[in-house]
Structure formats: C-alpha cells, structure tokens
Amino acid sequence: AINSGNSFRVASPASDVASELADIDWDNLGFGFMPTDYMYSMKCSQGENFSKGELQRFGNIELSPSAGILNYGQGLFEGLKAYRKHDGNILLFRPEENATRLKMGAERMCMPSPSVEQFVEAVKATVLANERWIPPPGKGSLYIRPLLMGSGAVLGLAPAPEYTFLIYVSPVGNYFKEGLAPINLVVETEMHRATPGGTGGVKTIGNYAAVLKAQSAAKAKGYSDVLYLDCVQKKYLEEVSSCNVFIVKGNLIVTPAIKGTILPGITRKSIIDVAISQGFEVEERQVSVDELLDADEVFCTGTAVVVSPVGSITHQGRRVTYGNDGVGLVSQQLYSALTSLQMGLSEDKMGWIVEL
C-alpha cells in the first residue's frame, strides 16, 4: 500500500513485508514507474553537510513553488540497479561510482552532496526496505533513482538555501520497447545535447529535458532514439539520449572520449574494462559519423539500457543496418559478460559487486 504523501519515520520496515515478493506481474516488467514502499530523504542547508537521513513511507514530497529545482533546474539524478541472486542475496553494482559522480556533478551545479559512504549506506537502506520489490532472478532488477535537488526557496538567480537528497526505487525490466532486440537510431543533425563548457558531462536533470523534442520526433517516425553529434564540427558522435554509444570494427572497440559533453557512464567504463579483459582493443577518442556507418556493430550502454545492440542507424535519409538486423556477436558477448557479473552468475574478479 502506498501512502498519500504524509511521510513518517520508520525504525525498520515490517519484516513480514520484506520477506515476501510484491504481488505484481513479474514476467512483464518494462521501464515504467511503479511506486514502492519506502524512500530515503536527507536534507541540509547551503554551506553545511548532509546528516540525519531517514527512510520514509514512499509518497509525494512538498516543495515551495520557489524551490531552486523548480525555477532554475538546480538538480542532479543518478541511476543504479539491485539484482536478486538465486541464493536470495541482493547485489549492487559499483554504487560508490554513482556516489562519486554525484559529488562531481554537485560541484558543477553549486550544490552540497552526501559523502560516498552516506550515499552507499542510503542506497543499501532503501533497497533493503523495498526488498519485496526486487524482481526474482532473471526477471529484471530494482532500479534505484537518487535525486539531489535545491529544495529551498529562491527568487533571484542563486544557489538554493536548502538541499534534499532523495532515493526512490522501482522494479524494472528492459528499457527499450524492443526488449533485447536491436534498436534503430537516427542521427540528429539540427539539435544538440550539450556544448563545450556546459553541463553535458554531469547528470543534471536539464540535460534530459533538452533531448525530449528530438527524441519525441524520432519516436513518432518509428525510431527507438536519437544519436547526437558534437555541436562544433557536427560530425563526431556524442551519445544517445539516455546512454553512451560504442562501435565495433574487427577486434577494435571505439567509444567517444569523455571531454565534458558526454556523460561518463558507469556501464560505459565497465564495458571498456570487460572488453579489454576479453582481449579486445579499446579506444576512447573522436568517432566520426563515417566511421559509425562503416562499423561492423554498434551498441549502446547505460544503467537503464545495459548493453543494447543497434540494428540500424539512419543519417540524412541513408539507413545502414548492422549484423543482418541480428544481435552482433561482440555486443552479445559483452552483454552476457556484464550481466552475468551484475547478477552474480560469474566470479567478480573486478571487485565491482556489493552484496547486501
């Protein structure tokens, strides 16, 4: 049951709730919001440190109409996942990486941020409080969405006087409606996602609102999503609305280098390390549209999308298909290696898994 918005402090979630699975259709999870039992909240004033976070019953939050987040977009989000293993244990994937990225983003957006330890402890507490919403093994994962926002009231343009760190969770399956089938992307040539010196390299909420127009237009034409180009030369790949992009040519895997306009994805970084450990050559550098269209395989990476094979790219009316509309072998191999690790099915030689 979900409460209507009035939150109250809980010492520990009722154990009978945590011990059984929620009564939902676990076989048909997509990537839609589903309210769960508890959320985590922690506040602090500008110039102070976060402290005294607590679990609250999940519900609406109250904000001043003048809150910094509502008026000036002073906000960041994160995304990570918890998996349920066959032995019942719960696994998180590199949560300290999300904590560190949030800290970097907070610095860019003039916000205080929780410490890495506070972030990881808060994530663990929220996941455990919502244990019954973690899908059974093989059915999906619990998506964890931390938010950091200027919640205090401002009128003139300035950092907000108060900040809220909040975490909610929702069970999810595949991100794209295509499921695990290849997605079809269109290269966007008019609109850009980020500019040098801007905020493209941090996970600020505004970066995601900015892509909705191009994404909606692409979806209306039947594409899965949009691939953005750099805004200066308009010929080098940046990223897709919600994920990073990789190309494969023989034994070489290439992805656009991190240079302030591309989100430093944790799945991106992990896939680079997994690929190197499997004997691939990996380069982080500029990738031109010509090189993209000439690739053997293309795939996207992200927490939400995991590793998504790309079946086709359309650029200025020309459509190029990859892997005979099938899933490329390299994409498949990297997807399996990463998800086996995340689900606890293979040995964690990298030390990336946090077991709850």
Q: Is 221 helix (H, G, I), strand (E, B) or coil?
A: coil
Q: Is 208 in the site for ligand COI (CB under 6 A)?
A: yes
User: Binding to ligand COI by residue 151, rule CB under 6 A?
Assistant: no
The reply to whether 34 sits near ligand COI by the rule CB under 6 A is no
Distance of CA 170 to the CA centre of its chain: 13
Q: Is 302 in the site for ligand COI (CB under 6 A)?
A: yes
DSSP state, residue 188: E
Considering the complex, state which of residue 53 and residue 79 has its C-beta at the smaller distance from ligand COI.
Answer: 79
Nearer to ligand COI by C-beta: 75 or 79?
79
72 binds ligand COI (CB under 6 A): no
Tell me the three state secondary structure of residue 54. Answer: strand
Decide: 200 and 332 in contact? Cβ < 8 Å. no
79 binds ligand COI (CB under 6 A): yes
The number of angstroms, rounded, from the C-alpha of 150 to the middle of its chain's C-alpha atoms is 21
> From the candidates 81, 139, 203, 221, which is the catalytic residue?
203
| 89: Cα separation from own chain's centroid | 23
Position closest to ligand COI via CB = 79
**Nearest partner of 339 among 301, 311, 312, judged by Cα:** 301
User: C-alpha distances in angstroms, 209 versus 32, 44, 256?
Assistant: 17, 26, 22
Beta-carbon contacts of 356 under 8 Å, excluding residues fewer than 6 positions away, are: 82, 89, 90, 91, 92, 124, 127, 128
182 or 302: CB nearest ligand COI: 302
The token duo for 216 is: 């909606």
Question: Of 57-65, 272-280, 287-295, 301-309, which part binds ligand COI (CB under 6 A)?
Answer: 301-309
Binding marks (x or -) toward ligand COI, 223..262, rule CB under 6 A? -------------------x--------------------
Tell whether residue 304 is a contact of ligand COI (CB under 6 A).
yes
Supply the minimum distance, in Å, between the C-beta of residue 203 and ligand COI: 7
349 is catalytic: no
Q: Which stretch binds ligand COI (CB under 6 A): 92-100, 286-294, 297-305, 322-330?
A: 297-305
Residues contacting ligand COI: total by CB under 6 A:
6
Angstrom distance (rounded) from CA 280 to CA 141? 28
254 forms beta bridges with: 247, 283
Instruction: Please report, as residue ranges, which positions from 92 to 111 form the binding site for ligand COI (by CB under 6 A).
Output: none
Q: Which is nearer to ligand COI, 162 or 225 (CB)?
A: 225
Residue 183 · residue 225 · CB < 8 Å: yes
In whole angstroms, what is the distance from residue 185 CA to residue 249 CA?
19
Residues with a catalytic annotation lie at 203
Sites of contact with ligand COI (CB under 6 A): 79, 208, 242, 302-304
